[in-house]
Amino acid sequence: MKLTDLDVIVTGNPPPGYGGRYFIFVKVGTDTGLTGWGECYAAAVGPQAMRAVIEDVFARHMAGENPENIEAMFRRVYSSGFTQRPDPTVIGAFSGLEIACWDILGKDRGRPIHALIGGRVQPRLRAYTYLYPDAGEDPATFYGSPTRAAEAAAARVAEGFTAVKFDPAGPYTVMGGHQPTPEDLDRSAAFCAQIRAAVGDRADLLFGTHGQFTPSGAIRLAQAIAPARPLWFEEPLPPDDVAGMAQVAAASTVPIATGERLCTTAEFAPILATRAAGILQPALGRLGGIWEGRKLGALAQAFGAQIAPHLYAGPIEWAANLQLAAALPNFLIAESIGTGTGFHSELLTGAIQFEEGYFKVPEGPGLGVELNEAVARAHPYNGNRLHLEMQPGPHLPGAPGFAGG
């Protein structure tokens, strides 16, 4: 069996747009007639440029190859251009293509992917979701209100969720880490206190940030939120400051989680070696794919770290996360977009089942789901903005907060 052809579909995500502005799906064909689906996450270039990168990676490193030869293809991509280091754009392109290869292999063998990477060890998969505003509600008002967050958390717990995530600590700025303002500290503490009061001990609190702070600023924020006993403090520093994150981890009673912006085990290894985080959040559409996720799981296990797959993307990365999670003994919890209804479910042929805070492990061949190609193609993304974008200026005292992906 050989890989023969590729189609890239950039699907616009209609309002409310949870999961990003668009999803990049890849459809990979073989000379046996089998096809596989994959998804690339959060490209750092525009969607048309990313389409060209995906096509180049496939033509240069994968076309004509047996889809079984995952590691050989990964090594060629990783070393492309004489680099031998993670490139988020190139590795992101490969990640979606690699997921499609596993989908093909599972279909060829009539088995789910988790059966091909060590077998199932998780009977069901614990899930969490961000807190999102109700339909028609003003997002700015919702994301700035601890009271509304607490109400939304109680509603999600009533649906069965045993963990909820929120990120009230201020905007994400291209200027890098900064000190939290007094408003940031007070707002963050208020969110944690009111959500904890609303859910009691029925759910974990997952405090999200996206690399906003300096080491000392993150330590101050960790102290402010600690009384509510969050399960984690997510990505407190920009991802390139591993030593600083280790400093935060050593000073914080709240566990540190990180990983959605990291590529391959090469970037996660220093996190583990320095004990900078004990909860790793790979995004399989950027990490390098499912096999790189399986390697990361084994590496993390040796350091006593757990895996919490990240999802701010579409349903194919979601399905890949669940296949990986089912095979990991150190799986902790998987991110979801609500219960997976709405546009995410419309994009799938064959639903992923949510029940009492857990997802059932898909047991069909490959990913266990199929992309509804007609729906994906009926919502083309014609803009040129990125899937996610950061605030261009610095975060100033008195500036409004921002919540998102």
pLDDT digits (tens, 9 = 90+) for 208-236: 999 999 999 999 999 999 999 999 999 99
Question: What is the token pair recorded at 194?
Answer: 């009111």
End-to-end CA distance of the chain: 38
Question: What's the mean pLDDT in 13-39?
Answer: 97
pLDDT, tens digit, for every residue of 231-260?
A: 999 999 999 999 999 999 999 999 999 999
Partners of residue 350 on adjacent β-strands: none
Sign, CA dihedral 131-121-362-355, equals negative
Confidence class of residue 106 from pLDDT cuts 50, 70 and 90? very high
Confidence class of residue 398 from pLDDT cuts 50, 70 and 90? low
What separation in angstroms does the CA of 353 have from each of 125, 257, 260, 359, 366? 11, 26, 24, 6, 17
Using CA atoms, how far apart are residues 268 and 283, in angstroms rounded to an integer?
Answer: 12
Using CA atoms, how far apart are residues 143 and 168, in angstroms rounded to an integer?
Answer: 7
Type of residue found at 119: G
pLDDT, tens digit, for every residue of 42-93?
A: 789 999 999 999 999 999 999 999 999 999 999 999 999 999 999 999 999 9
Task: Give every CB contact of residue 23 below 8 A, 6+ residues apart in sequence.
Answer: 10, 11, 13, 39, 313, 314, 316, 347, 376
pTM: 0.96
Write phi, then psi, for 322 (nearest 5 degrees). -70, -40
CA angle 223, 259, 269 (to 5 degrees): 105
Using CA atoms, how far apart are residues 326 and 110, in angstroms rounded to an integer?
Answer: 17
- pLDDT value of residue 404: 41
- pLDDT value of residue 399: 52
- pLDDT value of residue 397: 65
Using CA atoms, how far apart are residues 304 and 174, in angstroms rounded to an integer?
Answer: 33
pLDDT, tens digit, for every residue of 321-378?
A: 999 999 999 999 999 999 999 999 999 998 899 999 999 999 999 999 999 999 999 9
Question: What's the mean pLDDT in 93-122?
Answer: 98
- The answer on pLDDT for 303 being more than 60 is yes
Average pLDDT, the chain: 95
Using CA atoms, how far apart are residues 51 and 4, in angstroms rounded to an integer?
Answer: 17
Structural domains for the chain: 3-112 (3.30.390.10), 116-365 (3.20.20.120)
Cβ–Cβ < 8 Å for 336, 359: yes
Cβ–Cβ < 8 Å for 404, 388: yes
Using CA atoms, how far apart are residues 219 and 9, in angstroms rounded to an integer?
Answer: 42
- The answer on pLDDT for 144 being more than 60 is yes
Using CA atoms, how far apart are residues 22 and 6, in angstroms rounded to an integer?
Answer: 19
Question: What is the token pair recorded at 114?
Answer: 């988790």
Residue (of 392, 384, 379) closest to 46 by Cα position? 384
Confidence class of residue 170 from pLDDT cuts 50, 70 and 90? confident
pLDDT, tens digit, for every residue of 366-376?
A: 999 999 999 99
- pLDDT value of residue 402: 40
Using CA atoms, how far apart are residues 176 and 213, in angstroms rounded to an integer?
Answer: 7
pLDDT, tens digit, for every residue of 178-201?
A: 999 999 999 999 999 999 999 999
